[in-house]
Amino acid sequence: MTCPRRNSAVRCLAMSTERLFAALALLLTALLAAPACAACKIPLPTISLRALDDRTDADPAAVDAEVSRRLAALADTDSLQAAELYVVQAEAASLMNNPSKVHAAAAASRARLRRLSDAAIRDALEFRLVLIEADSSVSDTEFTTALADLTRLEPTMPADSLQHACLLIMRSGVNRRLGKNDDSVSDGLLAHQITTAANAPSATADAAFELAYTYWRAGLLLDAINMADEVIDYSRSAKLPGELARGLQVKAWILTRMQRYAEALAAIAEARQLDIGLSNTADAAYADLGRCDVLLKMDRLDEAEGSCVEAEHEWTAAGRLDQLPRAEVVRADIALARGDPRAALARLNPILSADLGKVPASLLPDLYHSRSRAFSELGRYREALADLNAEERLNESGDRDRRNIAAAILKGNFEAEAAANNIRLLRAAADSERLLADRQTLIRNITVIVAALLSAAILLLWWNWRRRKESERLREVLQERSAFVGRLTAGIAHEFNNQLTVMQQGLGMLANRPSIAGDPVAELLIGEMQRANRASSEITAQLQSFGRQQSLNPQNISLQELFARIAPTIAMVAGDKVRVEVDSGSPPAVVWADERQLSAALINLIANARDAMPAGGTVKIRADMPQASRTTIAVNDQGTGMTPEVLSKATEPFFTTKSLGSGSGLGLSMVDGFVTQSCGSMRVESVIGHGTTVTLELPAGSKAS
């Protein structure tokens, strides 16, 4: 990423990582509101209502009024028609961005549906309701409900039907929104397969669109662009201008993230042309806003502002006044790029002090983000931090760790302005962005030898980095690089796994040879080789888990409950000689973290404590909440302790004091990585002969839930 010349760390970091995600999420969310798959709209059973139903897309407000009129005139006994009319009402409300009305209408429809005896009709209407509700979900809770509903309905439809594909397309989007990129891709791929086999180009384009979006989300830009191209190809050949415009828009955003600005602008121009051809002024406005954002990144500020103004005109013409803040936030960013934070504040303050219920929910994080930048430019760090926190609360979980990085850095700035560090910080961020983009091609083509050489080189970089870390606060940003090393490591581990399987198969067959049976030396040698092979497998497994891109899914965890759940594992890891005492604090502490990773981290620490006390002893685990916002978990042993030298290297990957073969040296570095990624910190205190205490400090959870 290139950064503007002015040296505010917050602004630059924001330009390099935040804006990309924020702006794209904003526009794609808006684009996604387009009706998904035509096959999803199962015709209403009552033929006379179908014409009304078909008009909903074009004029939801008029259809809503007509539905209300008909509902008032309807006899109380006509449950079917009432249920259908409420379905139409829910759809109209969804198109008018009124989620509470969607849910109310869906509930009313379901109440009528329960009175119907025909299960096929009930299922069909329920399917439409679930799709509509999923489509208008806003909060995590609603998306979670939508996911459960879709999953519940899945078995009711034939596996290779288009309806199933529609459901998968919708669920792919819901999964992505919940941060489950793997599930999202899985649904998208299956939907893609079904729609391709059914020769349904419009649905195929929809599936490809979901895949492109999720790949983009996951940073798999090459895959994303392939899928976007597929959306474009399919909709071009099937002459679907609306889909084509959508595909071009997505491609433009991917290209923007790849910094291929000229191509992005060309795609946006074509999308805009199509939108205008379709008289879709609102979408044309999105295209203009997209153009504005690209031009902003290219530092062509006057043209960028022109596009924003154009977008505002188009929204006004389309009667979509609610969308105007979208343009305002980008115009505020333009003001920031011009070095005029006061002008940015003047744009943002009126929106954020007005009734926030009228601002598109997906936009709020960006508004706070931009204002936070403006405040930080003006040296008003306290307000900047407050806005960043507001933004963080609003943001979807997938973005959360990135925001935390920004918050952590802003906090650092707040304490002392370390201007000299900023430039290095930016380069590191830029480097890791580039490395990430290259990695897909790399991993595919790499041979064992090249990978080994590369990893050695990268390990050198890594050492180098660890040394600098002591004096600089770069850790958070550079973790991206460590993730890259990790993925590379996982690639190498994969190659070794193939070789190890060959050896295991060979040794297995060798052991069964008649000439070996009864030859004690040969059996001993084979047994040792098999043992060595198994030990190597464990190392590759650990390399892989170290390298796995860990997507954290933090939630409120009561430590009392967590300790109870993992008690059997703790007892098993501790063994006979070691006693484990657990104190979950009073009142019991609550932590905000990924449960699976936290459990793994605790078990790693207990295993270390056990190994430090070969003669046995007591491991004490104590949770506490020293401040309302922080929770600490301390794991203490009375073992051998560590010298200051060992202590200083304890969190380096591959560092171990254990005898060769009994530990891989990845445990503590993984715990450290997890804690840092969770916006916390790890402290290791050790006194030779008296034992070691590892303290994890993590964000506190809220007790309410």
Partner 1 sequence: MTGSSSASRPERAHILLAEDHTMLRGFLEMSLTAEGFRVTAVKNGDEAHAVLENGMQADLLFSDIRMAGALDGLQLACWVRKHRPAMAILLQTGFTELLTGDFPVLRKPYSPAELIDAIRAALPKPSVGCAR
- The residues binding partner 1 (CB under 8 A) are 160, 182, 185-186, 189-190, 193, 197, 490, 493-498, 500-506, 508-509, 511-512, 530, 533, 537, 540, 544-545, 547-548
Report residue 281 as tokens: 């002024």
For residues 346 and 383, the answer to whether their CB atoms sit within 8 Å is no
Q: Rank residues 65 and 502 by Cβ distance to partner 1 and give the closer one.
A: 502
Q: Least distance in Å: CB of 223 to partner 1?
A: 12
Residue 529 CA: distances (Å) to CA of 119, 492, 542: 62, 21, 20
Residue 261 CA: distances (Å) to CA of 272, 294, 302, 401, 694: 16, 6, 16, 27, 48
Neighbours of 570 (CB within 10 A): 20
Q: Least distance in Å: CB of 499 to partner 1?
A: 8
- Its sign, for the CA torsion 521, 523, 526, 531, is negative
Report residue 394 as tokens: 């609003």
The C-alpha atoms of residue 375 and residue 388 are separated, in whole angstroms, by: 10
Q: Least distance in Å: CB of 550 to partner 1?
A: 11
Report residue 586 as tokens: 């009073």
The C-alpha atoms of residue 399 and residue 193 are separated, in whole angstroms, by: 30
Q: Least distance in Å: CB of 191 to partner 1?
A: 12
DSSP element (H, E) containing 444: helix 419-445
The C-alpha atoms of residue 398 and residue 678 are separated, in whole angstroms, by: 12
The C-alpha atoms of residue 562 and residue 567 are separated, in whole angstroms, by: 8
For residues 580 and 619, the answer to whether their CB atoms sit within 8 Å is yes
For residues 129 and 86, the answer to whether their CB atoms sit within 8 Å is no
The C-alpha atoms of residue 22 and residue 13 are separated, in whole angstroms, by: 13
The C-alpha atoms of residue 313 and residue 285 are separated, in whole angstroms, by: 8
Q: Rank residues 147 and 337 by Cβ distance to partner 1 and give the closer one.
A: 147
Q: Rank residues 409 and 526 by Cβ distance to partner 1 and give the closer one.
A: 526
For residues 421 and 472, the answer to whether their CB atoms sit within 8 Å is yes
Single-letter residue type at 397? S
Q: Which long-range contacts (CB under 8 A, 24 or more apart) does 263-268 make?
A: 264/290, 264/294, 265/291, 265/294, 265/295, 268/294
Q: Rank residues 193 and 693 by Cβ distance to partner 1 and give the closer one.
A: 193
Residue 640 neighbours by CB under 8 Å, 6+ apart? 612, 613, 688, 689, 691
Q: Least distance in Å: CB of 533 to partner 1?
A: 7
Give strand pairing partners of 583.
Answer: 622
Neighbours of 523 (CB within 10 A): 13
The C-alpha atoms of residue 335 and residue 6 are separated, in whole angstroms, by: 13
Q: Least distance in Å: CB of 695 to partner 1?
A: 30
Q: Least distance in Å: CB of 483 to partner 1?
A: 14
Residue 224 neighbours by CB under 8 Å, 6+ apart? 211, 212, 213, 215, 216, 254
Q: Least distance in Å: CB of 241 to partner 1?
A: 30
Q: Least distance in Å: CB of 540 to partner 1?
A: 8
Residue in this structure with the two tokens 């329960």, named with its chain if needed: 114
Q: Rank residues 145 and 504 by Cβ distance to partner 1 and give the closer one.
A: 504
Q: Rank residues 385 and 451 by Cβ distance to partner 1 and give the closer one.
A: 451
Q: Least distance in Å: CB of 668 to partner 1?
A: 21
DSSP string, 338-372: TT-HHHHHHHHHHHHHS-GGGS-GGGHHHHHHHHH
Q: Rank residues 342 and 513 by Cβ distance to partner 1 and give the closer one.
A: 513
Nearest CA among 421, 497, 432 for reference residue 462: 432
Q: Least distance in Å: CB of 541 to partner 1?
A: 9
The C-alpha atoms of residue 552 and residue 398 are separated, in whole angstroms, by: 8
Q: Least distance in Å: CB of 456 to partner 1?
A: 21
Q: Least distance in Å: CB of 171 to partner 1?
A: 14
Q: Least distance in Å: CB of 382 to partner 1?
A: 43
Q: Rank residues 151 and 505 by Cβ distance to partner 1 and give the closer one.
A: 505
Q: Rank residues 97 and 545 by Cβ distance to partner 1 and give the closer one.
A: 545
For residues 423 and 31, the answer to whether their CB atoms sit within 8 Å is no
For residues 658 and 612, the answer to whether their CB atoms sit within 8 Å is no
Q: Least distance in Å: CB of 496 to partner 1?
A: 8
Q: Rank residues 190 and 264 by Cβ distance to partner 1 and give the closer one.
A: 190
Pairing of the two strands 590-594 and 617-627: unpaired
Q: Rank residues 61 and 502 by Cβ distance to partner 1 and give the closer one.
A: 502
Q: Which 3-state string (H, E, C) describes 494-560? A: HHHHHHHHHHHHHHHHHHCCCCCCCCHHHHHHHHHHHHHHHHHHHHHHHHHHHHCCCCCCEEEEEHH
Q: Least distance in Å: CB of 157 to partner 1?
A: 16
Q: Rank residues 157 and 503 by Cβ distance to partner 1 and give the closer one.
A: 503
Single-letter residue type at 430? A
